[in-house]
């Protein structure tokens, strides 16, 4: 099926290269923690309607870059446009409202709330919570109905509707990954940024998550995801960006990237030459260890994501 990611055919595999129809353009984004320059990015454009993978060694700055762009971590400098709208210095909820939503490397769920309530909490613009809106219940009732309908439809779509009234804490790690993706869609975003959506999930569920990502892309959503498993990256990506020491060291098609000497040196860990899809990079499937992403929306940040069963 034709998708906008295919517009990338013919784009030069060069770090910082312009895209035919970028949905996100980021320039000079820098973030240091003490002496560590976590993000040191000159320029990156993300093609609308494609699946872009963000790869790179542990500590390369992938999660911190996501945090900066989505308002969870203030960068030291930088500017970025999403759909032509400048988003730097906006708090996370305003970034979300602009249509850019992220998920976390460690799944975030309120374990003592039902799955459905976790979904509803992810909906933006909860008008009923505002004093003035609550005086005019008609408007927020309509919105609440919309949110409920959307939540039910998404739970159905992701195969976890049977869990709707269960505590989120009773879900398997894999089911939580599915809920995390479903929750991100509650805000009806134009782009989702998934931080290691497949980490620690079993192979059957990886296939299901990949299927969902493809479907979302084919429906017009832009997808950016962080991934260590090169089989997955090769399989699904329209474009791959490699970060090391906070910088974009290479970008290109999956084929270009698998042959790029800088990527092989910094990440894939093999001698120069072609890397086949079944060679794993060093550090692949490393345990989760997000460096201090602030808890968003009151998440409890629990769940090491291991030992789940198929949802
Ligand atoms: N809140 C923080 N305080 C101090 N240092 C941090 C913080 N968050 C990240 N770092 C550091 O910044 C660097 C980039 O970390 P980041 O988590 O962004 O890397 P990553 O590419 O997501 O790695 P991984 O693949 O392991 O998830 C690392 O050196 C990390 O230790
Ligand atoms: Mg990370």
CATH number at residue 232: 3.40.50.300
Ligand 1 atom with least separation from CA of 64: 18
> Is residue 62 lining ligand 1, measured as CB closer than 6 Å?
yes
* Domain encompassing residue 35: 4-109+189-268
CA distance 73 to 89: 10
pLDDT of 304 above 70: no
* C-alpha count within 13 angstroms, C-beta hemisphere, residue 233: 35
Q: Which two tokens stand for residue 164?
A: 């709707």
Packing angle of the helix pair 203-218, 173-185 (nearest 10 deg)? 10
Domain membership of residue 182 (yes or no) is: no
163 within domain boundaries: no
pLDDT score of 269? 77
Any idea which ligand is nearest the CA of 67?
A: 1
CA angle 254, 257, 261 (to 5 degrees): 160
Residue 133: what pLDDT? 60
Alpha carbon of 104 to ligand 1 centroid (Å): 13
215 within some domain: yes
In a domain, 118, yes or no: no
How, if at all, do strands 239-244 and 247-252 pair?
antiparallel
**In the chain, how many domains are there?**
1
User: What is the structure's pLDDT at 212?
Assistant: 94
pLDDT the model gives residue 286: 35
Q: Has residue 220 been placed in a domain?
A: yes
Atom of ligand 1 nearest to the CA of 73: 1
The answer to the question of residue 38 being in a domain is yes
Q: Ligand 1: does its nearest atom lie under 6 Å from the Cβ of 291? A: yes
Q: Give the number of other CB atoms < 10 A from CB of residue 132.
A: 7
Which of 5-14, 140-149, 152-161, 168-177 is predicted most confidently?
Answer: 152-161
310 pLDDT more than 90: no
154-158, Cβ contacts within 8 angstroms, sequence gap of 24 or more? 154/119, 154/182, 154/185, 154/186, 155/115, 155/116, 155/119, 155/179, 155/182, 157/182, 157/212, 158/182, 158/212, 158/311
Residue 156 lies in a domain: no
| Rounded CA separation 177/310 (Å) | 11
Ligand 1 atom with the shortest distance to the CA of 61: 18
Residue 168 resides in a domain: no
Residue 68 tokens read as 């900066």
- Residues that place a CB less than 5 A from ion ligand 2: 62-63, 105
Backbone angles phi, psi at 179, to 5 degrees: -65, -35
pLDDT over threshold 60, residue 284: no
pLDDT higher than threshold 90 for residue 279: no
**C-beta 217 within 6 A of ligand 1:** no
Query: So what's the pLDDT on residue 6?
Result: 75
Closest ligand relative to 243 C-alpha: 1
Q: Residue 106's pLDDT is what?
A: 75
């Amino acid at each position: 099926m034709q998708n906008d990611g295919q517009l990338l055919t013919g784009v030069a595999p060069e770090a910082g290269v312009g895209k035919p129809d970028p949905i996100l353009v980021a320039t000079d984004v820098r973030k240091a923690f003490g002496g560590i320059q976590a993000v040191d990015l000159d320029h990156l454009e993300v093609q609308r309607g494609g699946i872009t993978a963000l790869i790179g060694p542990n500590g390369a700055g992938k999660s911190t870059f996501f945090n900066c762009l989505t308002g969870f971590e203030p960068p030291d400098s930088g500017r970025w446009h999403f759909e032509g709208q400048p988003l730097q210095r906006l708090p996370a909820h305003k970034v979300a409202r602009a249509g850019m939503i992220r998920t976390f490397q460690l799944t975030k769920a309120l374990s003592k709330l039902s799955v459905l309530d976790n979904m509803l909490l992810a909906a933006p613009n909860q008008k009923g919570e505002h004093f003035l809106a609550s005086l005019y219940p008609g408007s927020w009732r309509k919105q609440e109905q919309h949110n409920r309908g959307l939540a039910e439809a998404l739970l159905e779509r992701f195969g976890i509707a049977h869990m709707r009234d269960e505590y989120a804490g009773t879900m398997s790690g894999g089911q939580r990954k599915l809920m995390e993706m479903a929750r991100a869609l509650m805000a009806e975003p134009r782009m989702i940024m998934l931080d290691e959506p497949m980490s620690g999930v079993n192979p059957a569920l990886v296939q299901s998550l990949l299927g969902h990502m493809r479907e979302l892309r084919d429906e017009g959503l832009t997808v950016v995801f962080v991934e260590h498993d090169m089989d997955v990256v090769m399989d699904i990506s329209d474009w791959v960006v490699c970060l090391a020491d906070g910088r974009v060291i290479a970008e290109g098609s999956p084929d270009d990237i698998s042959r790029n000497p800088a990527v092989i040196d910094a990440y894939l860990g093999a001698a120069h030459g072609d890397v086949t899809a079944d060679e794993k990079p060093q550090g692949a499937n490393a345990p989760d260890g997000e460096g201090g992403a602030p808890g968003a929306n009151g998440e409890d940040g629990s769940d090491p994501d291991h030992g789940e069963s198929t949802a």
